[in-house]
Amino acid sequence: MPYYDEIELGDEIGPVEKVATDDEVSSFCEVWGTSSPNRFTDAETAAKSGMKGGPIVPGIMTMAMMAQLLTDWGGPGSIKDLDLVFRQPVPHNRALTLAATITDIREEDGENLAECDILMTGTEGERYIGGKAIVTLQSR
Amino acid sequence: MYLDMHSHSVSSDDSRATVEQYVKWIQVLRKRGHIVDGIVLTEHRKFDFDKNYSDLASQYDVLILKGSELDTRYGHFLVYGVTKQLTEAIDFGDTRMDSRELMKAARQYDAFALPAHPGRFGIGLTDYISQGETFEDVSIVERFNGGSRPGENERADELCESHGLLGIGGSDAHLTSHIATCMTNFNTTIRKEGDVVDALLSKDFHPVWLKDTINGASPT
């Protein structure tokens, strides 16, 4: 895990490639306890909700994927803030690229903070989710 | 000079970048050898008369100008040199306004309106032209848009070539690290919002990608 003293503006976190498969979405919905049928696992319900490309990945699951990118880098419990804008539905079984860029580094109220832009994109240039995150880091 | 003609700060509901973060990031770009002289904040459906960024501008040596990006029934339009009279004549929050009336009103009140990301699938000007709409007052469009998906800037290129239009560039940044990904290179000096209008009317500019500003290199 990086120390606060080691990072610089413009440092990249990732990119990491992920795929949210049908099975993973189903498992997530089961654990989450959402009622069925739903637009995340059922094609017909998704179509009725206006999702032309089939069932979608739940927003809260994509948020968890983004969070994992950050905790894999900064360590468990390092996320102080995660503020995302969901720009378009995320499809199942497609390659997703998750990446973040450090845009600000500061000490605030005794904490070492790294602020990042964070993005989930697709192989065709789709920008599914964008936002910013604040991660706390230890000093050396 | 190189200006990013299209950017959104947290004053727009879907942006997560502050103006201070943008100007700090521009210092990062400059350290990497890029030339970025300024930005135009084109907030969605509004004009921030009350916001003053002069302290930030002088602290970071970045020109910070204000404009607007308005939703119209024919797609999004960027407005430069916004005046009080224009905001009294046009309801900036009216998402069904006719962009042709906006363009006329803008010129009447010393401003300039032009289509943003005209190649955008579904809401770009190219789609409306394909549907038979005509836009006689359009002479400049946003040819390079940093938020475009593959194919959209190419459609803007084709529009410029087929209709003899001039092009500007803007990042359409909503996140800090996206600022200045594309810009407009003006051959005139710009210090305030009204100068942008004069510079557009001069026709002496062209769009550039950030990578093409390294050490000041810029294709014409």
ipTM of the complex: 0.82
What is the C-alpha to C-alpha distance for residues B94 and B107, in angstroms, rounded to an integer? 19
Interface test with A, best of B22, B176, B179 (most A CBs within 10 A): B176
Q: Give the minimum alpha-carbon distance from B115 to chain A in angstroms, rounded to a whole number.
A: 21
What architecture is domain B43-213?
Answer: Alpha-Beta Barrel (3.20)
What is the C-alpha to C-alpha distance for residues B99 and B101, in angstroms, rounded to an integer? 5
Residue of chain B minimizing CA distance to A119: B175
All structural domains of chain B with their residue ranges:
43-213
Residue among B16, B150, B176 whose CB faces A124 most closely: B150
Establish if A110 belongs to a structural domain.
yes
Residue among B24, B149, B174 whose CB faces A125 most closely: B149
The label of the residue with tokens 């989710």 reads: A129
Q: What is the per-residue pLDDT across B80-117, written as a single tens digit (0 to 9) for each? A: 999 999 999 999 999 999 999 999 999 999 999 999 99
Instruction: Indicate the number of domains in chain A.
Output: 1
Residue contact B150–A125, C-beta within 8 A: yes
Q: Degrees (nearest 5) of the Cα angle B107, B112, B116?
A: 140
DSSP state of B18: -
Establish if A16 belongs to a structural domain.
yes
Residue of chain B minimizing CA distance to A118: B175
B-chain residues within 8 Å CB-CB of A125?
149-150
Q: What is the per-residue pLDDT across A75-121, written as a single tens digit (0 to 9) for each? A: 999 999 999 999 999 999 999 999 999 999 999 999 999 999 999 99
Mean pLDDT of A11-31: 96
* Neighbouring C-beta atoms of residue A110, cutoff 10 Å: 5
Establish if A97 belongs to a structural domain.
yes
The pTM assigned to this predicted structure is 0.90
Establish if A72 belongs to a structural domain.
yes
Q: Does B25 touch chain A (CB under 8 A)?
A: yes
